[in-house]
Chain A
Amino acid sequence: MQDWLSPAEWEAVRLSLRVALWATLFSLPLGLGVAYALARWRFPGREVLNVVVHLPLIMPPVVTGYLLLLAFGTQGPIGGFMDSTLGFTFAFRWTGAALAAGVMAFPFMVRAVRLSIEAVDPKLEQAAATLGASRAWVFLTVTLPLILPGIIAGTVLTFAKGMGEFGATITFVSNIPGQTQTIPLAIDLLLETPGGEARAARLAGLSILMAAAALAFSEWMARRVAARVGGR
């Protein structure tokens, strides 16, 4: 099994999983907040927020990567600040790959969660309030359990998107083995290497398998949760 992929390729798989995991971990709470605000609140700038969240879905990924470079590169305002005060760098590191993956996957998270929040009847939340639950408790005991299927769907989509992100990642943090070379970037490099096609095909097959497994898992979870939530 170890021989099936070279150590460098295993490194790419591990890196992809790590990048996707961190991208998902950060997108989840943030996406939940943004989705809730978009679904339930009317505030100035709501439309702007909506557009900004969805931009990575519409724009060419290279442009997103370029904008990330401008903002989070060591010369960029945010990247420079974090580098000098916190000693935290995004540029040419796996953290940058995770950021790119997270930003690109964020619209998927927000859309999935927002749809499920809009499907929750506010009358149920009112009922919970009349029974003594404060806003936070209403969210935790009524809203959150009812939107769990949407959260699961959003999480899996985000994770899968994070595993497969290419354009923004390569633009922002380049293709550095062991740091930013995730599966798609490794495949890209192998395809340009003479005699690399077979190995590229193996990596491609592996990523198809992982994507299919993630989808099957999310379908299964969503069915279980939906049965429990809408349940009999």
Chain B
Amino acid sequence: MLEVRLTHTLGALRLDVAFEAPKGVTVLFGRSGSGKTTIVNAVAGLLRPASGRIAIGERVLCDTAQRLHLPPHRRRLGYIFQEGRLFPHLSVRQNLRYGQWFAPRGARSEDMARVVEMLGIGDLLSRRPGALSGGEKQRVAIGRALLSTPRAILADEPLASLDEARKAEILPYLERLRDEVDIPILYVSHSASEVARLATTVVALDQGRVVAQGRAEAVLGNPAITPLGAREAGAVLAARVVRHHADGLTELEAGGMALWLPRVDRPEGADLRVRIAAHDVIVARGRPDGLSALNVLPGVVQAVREGAGPGAIVAVDTQAGRVLARITRRAATALSLAPGAEVHVVVKAVSVAQADVGAAG
């Protein structure tokens, strides 16, 4: 368990946060400028916070009350940077081993062969970073951090500099990291789909403050918390693959309800997390009839949050889980949507992007 409590002023930003990151991926989620990177740098020891305490379990890394500030090299944290930061003069193998040179003797060390296999970088070992693609570099950077026998892993938007295809290439490796490694992972992101796929815990930040923290489903399904604005809102459903059908659709089951999605590349029986973007959801008062959309879920309105503009976010509790819908205020009034109202939510199967479907964690 990584515990972070700190205040710091950086330019116009006043940072004042406290949160905990248990095992699994804790995503620091918020717009750029909300202080995410500053927090991670403070945890890594690259920045000395004005006040605060940072600890992993019993091990205190920083406690300004005791004037304690361990230098970065004594913290044993694996930091995956946005730009990889591989050593250009070392081969991939030497980059991967770099942290092991400094790891304390007898520290439980990750097995090189296992990490290389997990990240699919076996063919790159003798190359130099200059000869790698962006996605390959980032996989090596993940391996390098992991092999330094860290007490926790920090990742500062490790996918931000990559295009969509490369992101799709790396996300599965990060999911495996989350599921196979037994330490906390603090992950900075401003991408809703990365959060939906990776987060076990979400810490939502806004202007240097924590506005919500907790299980990913709960934080993302809360209509009051839209750290990136209503445009990016979307809830996450936990689902299981039931069957792949001949017409290219995959049948999922979530809380006893059937969900239909374009072919999902997972075996039958696999547990998934599916992010349903709020702007892809339609709310209907009666059960809609003669509709092309395949996914119609009955539910009860839990909350309606009106924004400053013409839009509103409606949270609907269905059997499959919490769904957020982004509709106009006019529609909300016309349908007299209020907590307790019985509605149906409609989700077009094709609107769920592959990038929004990830392994459960």
Contact = CB atoms under 8 A, between A and B. Distances in A.
Interface of A: 121, 123-124, 126-135, 137-138, 141-142, 145-146, 228-232
B148 A230 contact: no
A184 B101 CA distance: 50
Nearest to A127: B85
A93 B179 CA distance: 73
A135 B128 CA distance: 24
A23 to B, nearest CB: 29
B98 A231 contact: no
Contacts of B98: 128, 131, 133, 141
Q: Is the contact region of chain A dominated by helix, strand, or loop, or is it mixed? A: helix
B131 A130 contact: no
B99 A131 contact: yes
Nearest to B147: A131
Contacts of B99: 131-132
A231 B103 contact: no
B67 to A, nearest CB: 20
Contacts of A134: 71, 73, 102
B148 A232 contact: no
Contacts of A127: 79, 81, 85, 87
B76 to A, nearest CB: 7
Interface string B169-184: 0000000000000000
A232 B91 CA distance: 9
A123 B83 contact: yes
Contacts of B88: 124, 146, 229-231
B105 to A, nearest CB: 12
B128 A126 contact: no
B169 to A, nearest CB: 21
Contacts of B168: none
22 contacts: A123-B81, A126-B85, A127-B79, A127-B85, A129-B46, A129-B71, A129-B72, A130-B46, A130-B154, A131-B99, A131-B102, A131-B145, A132-B73, A132-B74, A132-B101, A132-B103, A134-B73, A145-B89, A146-B88, A229-B88, A230-B130, A231-B128
Contacts of B24: none
Contact of B148 (A132, A138, A142): A132
B326 interface: no
A168 B80 CA distance: 53
B261 to A, nearest CB: 39
Interface string B101-142: 111000000000000000000000001101100000000000
B78 A232 contact: no
Given A132-B103, A137-B102, A142 B87 contact: yes
The listed residue with most B CB atoms (<10 A of its CB), out of A121, A132, A142, is A132
Given A126-B46, A232-B131, A131 B144 contact: yes
Nearest to A137: B102
B44 interface: yes
A182 B79 CA distance: 55
B77 interface: yes
A231 B89 contact: yes
B85 A123 contact: yes
Contacts of B73: 129-135, 137-138
Which of B98, B103, B144 is most buried by chain A, counting CB atoms within 10 A of its CB? B98
A232 B130 contact: yes
Nearest to B91: A231
Contacts of B144: 131
A134 B71 CA distance: 9
Contacts of A128: 87, 98
B280 to A, nearest CB: 39
